[in-house]
Every structure is written in structure tokens, then in C-alpha cells.
Amino acid sequence: MTQSVSLQLPTDWRDFLALTKPRVMSLVVFTGICGIIAAPERIHPVLAFTAILCIAIGAGGAAALNQWWEADLDAGMKRTAARPLPSGRMNTIEARDFGVALSVGSVLLMGLAIGWLAAVILAISIVYYAVIYTIWLKPRTPQNIVIGGGAGAFPPLIGWVAATGEITLMPVLLFAIIFFWTPPHFWALALFVKSDYAKVGIPMMPVVAGERATRRQILAYAALLLPLSMAPWWVGGTGSVYGISALVLGLVFLALSARVGLREAADGDTMKPEKQLFAWSVIYLFALFAALVTDRLILA
């Protein structure tokens, strides 16, 4: 992109904010907060706020770098064409520098204020998303979402480590839950926007392997997610509030995944089950981690 950013300050502010993908960031921040609260050790509120701020800024920086690298691809897809870079409201150098500044700043602040273990994990999460997923995996393999799912799974792990200073089984399980949740969540979306990915040559699973294979894999991952989501209860890391919630939420997730996984889409299909699964998957993760926090507060 060679067009300069608009001189209107409100527009500039909104465009920079859009680069951070605030809707995606809300889930990142929420799971990071849950990781801090669910941890067995309490952290000073100011330090907790700082840790969450670092997670949010780091996620925003990674998202900005993602959009910087994919500006040309975003321009070719209806879903992303209105973003600041493909629409010409911002140039790529500004987006790149903004992403680098947020990423580096978040890691340094986390290390100096909270601890270097949390900072290192934050740095890994940024590199995982901005480089491993965006540059390497996404344009090369239909397994991009499976392997790249780790990028969005780091926040509760980082939050837990910020509070405790160590990595134990519980935060690893929280990481794994989000890791296995990501494929059915994103593939449900990919099914009803696959034409966009096909147009720009991104090898998403529905484009490369076809809808039928994608649907079967959605169901397989949802089936694996159910027992995995209950593992924190089984290992004694949570109480029955979380355990029962995980079971109910997981069964609904599995039922909706079965509707998607066992059907054959016809031409002109409205993709209603796929859209319902995508919407529920977001609710599911928020509700599951809310149950984790509720359980922790009850046991405290």
C-alpha cells in the first residue's frame, strides 16, 4: 500500500484500533484475566492490571503485524476488504511499525513489571501468531488452523504464570482446551466464507480437502474437546461448578458440531448450522472460562 494515512485524527485513531482486532482481543483479554483469577496465588491488583494490559497490547501488536503481512490478501476478500490497509486508509509502514512497537513494548513491560517467564511466553505467542502462523503456516498447509491454534491458546497460560511465576498442569490444560477448540471454531467460519479463501489462494481446509472432510474433522475435534474440557475437574484443579458447566457446554458444542459434521451441504445452502456452531463456539469459550472463575471464587 502506498496511500498515506488520513489526516483526520478520529479516523486515524479508529484505524489503529482496528489493526489490533479488538473483537478478537476481547476473548484474549478475557481468558488471560481468567488465568490470573483461577491461579492458586493472588497477585496485587495493579500487577494484575499490568499483566492483562501487556497481554492485550501484545495481542494487538501481533494482529497489526498479521494485517501488515496480509494486506494484499485482505484486499481480495470481501470479509476483510474494508480493513485499514486494503481500503487504503493507512500505509503498510505505519502498520508494521505500530505492530512492532506494541509487540516489543508489551514484552518489555511484562518482563520488568511481572516477570521474565511470563514475558518470554508472551513473546513466543506473538511470534507464533505473527510469524509461524501468518507467514509460514497459513499460506502453505490446510492444517494451518490446527497448528496455529496455539497462538490463541497462550493468554490463560500467561495469566497463570504472571500470578504464580511457574508453569503447572492446570495452565497447560487451559492452553490445550483453547488449542482443540480453535479448529471447530474457525472451520465453521471457513465453511461459509470458503470462496473468499479460494479466491486469494489460502489453503484452508474446506478449499483444499473439501467440505465433507472439514465437517468430519470439526466433529472429531469437538468430540476430543469434551473430555479435555473436563480434565481440570478430574485432576482436582476445579470443583463441581466448573465440571458440570464443562459437561453441559461441551455436550451442546458436540451436538451442534454433529449437525455440521454429519450433514452434506447443497448448492445454495444457507449454512445455518455452521453459523450457529460458530456463534456458539464463542459463547462456549466465554462461558467455560467464566465457570472456571466462578468455581475458583467459590472455593477461595
Alpha-carbon distance 44 to 114, whole Å? 10
**7 DSSP assignment:** S
Alpha-carbon distance 188 to 278, whole Å? 5
Alpha-carbon distance 128 to 27, whole Å? 18
pLDDT number for residue 35: 96
- Annotate 43-52 with b (16+ C-beta within 10 A) or e (fewer): beeeebebbb
**pTM for the structure as a whole:** 0.89
Quick one: 16-167 is in which CATH superfamily?
A: UbiA prenyltransferase (1.10.357.140)
Alpha-carbon distance 26 to 62, whole Å? 14
Task: Give me the CATH topology for the region 168-300.
Answer: Four Helix Bundle (Hemerythrin (Met), subunit A) (1.20.120)
pLDDT number for residue 120: 97
Q: What is the DSSP string of 273-297?
A: HHHHHHHHHHHHHHHHHHHHHHHHH
**137 DSSP assignment:** I
pLDDT number for residue 300: 64
Q: Cell numbers 451442546 correspond to what residue?
A: 252
Query: Block means of pLDDT (10 residues each) for the chain, length 300 residues?
Result: 38 83 90 95 95 96 94 85 87 92 98 97 96 88 82 94 96 96 92 82 86 93 97 95 97 96 68 91 96 89
pLDDT number for residue 142: 81
Alpha-carbon distance 276 to 299, whole Å? 34
Structural domain spans, the chain: 16-167, 168-300
**Helix ranges restricted to H, 114-210:** 116-127, 144-148, 150-164, 169-192, 194-200, 205-208
Alpha-carbon distance 188 to 272, whole Å? 10
Alpha-carbon distance 144 to 132, whole Å? 9
First to last CA, the chain: 53
